[in-house]
Amino acid sequence: MSQLDNVDKRIGTRIRIERESRGWSLTELAEKSAVSRAMIHKIERGDSSPTAALLGKLSGAFGLSMSTLMARAEMHQGRLLKKEDQPVWVDPQTGYERRHISPKSDLPLDLVRIELPAGAEVSMPASVYAFARQLIWVLDGDLVFLEGDTRHGMSAGDCLELGPPTDCVFKNESERPCTYAVIVLRNS
C-alpha cells in the first residue's frame, strides 16, 4: 500500500469516526455536507480519494476546519515531527499537495505547507473557515486568493489574514507551482 493510499484510508476512517461519534447516519452527513451518500460511503471505505473541495464540505459539516479533520486522520502525538513522517496528501483532481508540518499537540495551531500546481484552482466553502482563524503566507510563486468578491494577488513573502467566513478560491494563474503556508489558529 502506498503512502497516499494509506492516507486515504486514514482519512476515510476518520470521517466515519467523526460521523459515528455524532450519531449521524450516512444520509444525515450527506444532507449536512451536500456530498452524496454514495461518495461518503466510498471515502469511508477508502475506495475513493476525496478532493480538497469535498473534504472542505465534510469538515464544515462536522464543525471542524479542514486542517483539524486532516490532523486527526494523519497525526500521532509528539513534539517533533520529522519531515519524512509529515503526512502528505494530494488532491486527485488538481494535484494540490498538502503537507502537515506541525506536530499534533495541545497548541491551538496547525501549520500546513501547500503546493498548488501551475494553472490549478481549489475552491473551499465558507464552512471551512467558520471555526478557526487563518493566515496564508506565500513562500514561492504567485497566488490569487478569492475571498468572496475580494481578489487578493499575492507574491512570495506576502501574508494575508482571512476575514469573516466566506466561500474562497485558491488560484495559481502562473506557469509555475506556487508554494504557500496556511497557519490555522483553532478556536479553543
What DSSP assignment string belongs to 117-161? -TT-EEEE-GGGGTTEEEEEEEEESEEEEEETTEEEEEETT-EEE
- Of 148, 128, 140, 130, whose CA–CA distance to 181 is shortest? 140
Q: Average model confidence (pLDDT) for the chain? A: 88
* pLDDT class of 35 with cuts at 50, 70, 90: very high
Q: Is 114 helix (H, G, I), strand (E, B) or coil?
A: strand
Q: Which residue has the cell 459515528?
A: 20
Kindly report, residue by residue over 40-68, the tens digit of the pLDDT: 999 999 888 888 889 889 988 998 878 77
pLDDT at 1: 45
From the CA atom positions of the chain, what is the Rg in Å? 16
* pLDDT class of 76 with cuts at 50, 70, 90: low
- Of 139, 97, 142, whose CA–CA distance to 122 is shortest? 97
Question: 178 pLDDT exceeds 60?
Answer: yes
Which range (3-12, 90-99, 156-165) has the least confidence?
A: 3-12
| Max Cα distance, the chain (Å) | 46
Question: 136 pLDDT exceeds 90?
Answer: yes
pLDDT at 111: 92
**% of residues, the chain, pLDDT over 90:** 55
Q: Is 87 or 71 the better-scoring residue by pLDDT?
A: 87
Question: 96 pLDDT exceeds 90?
Answer: yes
Q: How far apart are CA 56 and CA 162, in angstroms?
A: 16
- Of 59, 54, 47, whose CA–CA distance to 15 is shortest? 59
C-alpha cell at 124: 473551499
List, in order, residues 6 or more apart from 53 with CB less than 8 Å away.
93, 122, 123, 124, 125
64-79 burial string, b = 16+ CB within 10 Å, else e?
A: bbbbbbbbbbbbeeee
For the four alpha carbons of 11, 13, 16 and 20, in that order, the dihedral sign comes to negative
Question: 3 pLDDT exceeds 60?
Answer: no
Q: Is 9 or 174 the better-scoring residue by pLDDT?
A: 174
pLDDT at 162: 94
pLDDT at 188: 53
What DSSP assignment string belongs to 38-100? HHHHHHHHTSSPPPHHHHHHHHHHHT--HHHHHHHHH--B-S---GGGS-EEE-TTT--EEEE
The arithmetic mean of pLDDT across residues 112-133, rounded, is 89
The pTM assigned to this predicted structure is 0.73
